[in-house]
Structure 1
Amino acid sequence: MEKKRKVGNPLALAVLAWLMLEPMHPYELGRRLEESEQDRSVKYNRGSLYMVVKQLAKAGFIVEHETVRDTQRPERTVYALTDAGRAELYDWLGELVARPRQEYPHFGVALSLLGVLSPERAVELLDARSDALAAELVETRDRVRVASGKGVGWVFLVEERYRIAMLEAEHRFVGELMEALREPEYVRAWRETFGGRS
């Protein structure tokens, strides 16, 4: 069973991981999330980042390390990881890596109700999705190629490689589903069931 976390937002996990490297100000954390493109995997904006940092501090996973002052900017509080934060990071990450989790993607909801659409309309919509998936595959493969060319280690690109594998699988699935929806037997059965109601 999934463990109840004091701070359950996945952004918190990313913050804990970045603070393993060194103490940082939330602005620096945000910059690194963007530069590493982790904001493609973790929902993030400046407001949510500052909120998560406060929650992590309240939970005792991070502490104020120092306050930095310079003449051009307001005071900045730099945060550091605590032993409890390190333990939480390892425990939470271990759980996510080791145990499959039931997720509820929107596409799964749409698939569960697909039979309501006429076979022709379903194929038309799935064809548009197939095109979008193909475009995203090209973009993601290019991103990995460019990053690899700059010397970024494969372990830092593993989430993009996972994204590619998932996109390829979905693209293949959508193609097979369109073929199944075009089968005369399915079209006939759909018309008998739904007739002129769509």
Structure 2
Amino acid sequence: MAIDQDTLERARAAWRFRGQERPDFAQTPAEGQESVWEYPRPPIYVPDARLIEVYAGDALLVRTHHSIRALETGSPPAFYLPPDALNQRMLTPSKRRSVCEWKGEAEYFHVQTGTGVIQDALWRYPQAFDAAASIAGWYACYPSRLDCFVAGEPVRPQAGGFYGGWITQDVVGPFKGEPGTGHW
């Protein structure tokens, strides 16, 4: 998939909010919480040492204390997980591809379980753009398709089906992905 620079620049320019100030409709974070409206755009990538666990049904896919949170305006964090933390035998490549104007071209993976296949449950940026180099080759997953936990807390999936943000009690929104939130 070719990435045209003019298309990238138009996509980058289309975003209305960029984290410089919290909009009036944003929730005010309580002590120990973060507002996703204070995250920047383009996103930043922050190491996280909390225990991350991901299950495909009853099968453990990931357990690690080493992740990177992608923090982008209006979106709950997407957690990127190191390849050596995943049970790679459970993954099969998908034909699906997408492009993020900030990260590059993503490739997707299905998860094989004892009872079937979970389609396009994970993705990664094998050759991420320079600004996203810290997540190149690391995997992110959809909590709407897999059971994800941060320090034992069950993750709620971001709405909309496209974004893979992880909603936990330490982040407040509202979150992009709901109807009417395009290019927030």
Greater share of residues in helix: 1
Normalising by the residue count of structure 1, what TM-score does the alignment of the two structures yield? 0.21
Larger CA Rg, structure 1 vs 2: 1
Higher relative contact order (CA 8 A, sep 6+): 2
- Name the structure where strand makes up a greater proportion of residues: 2
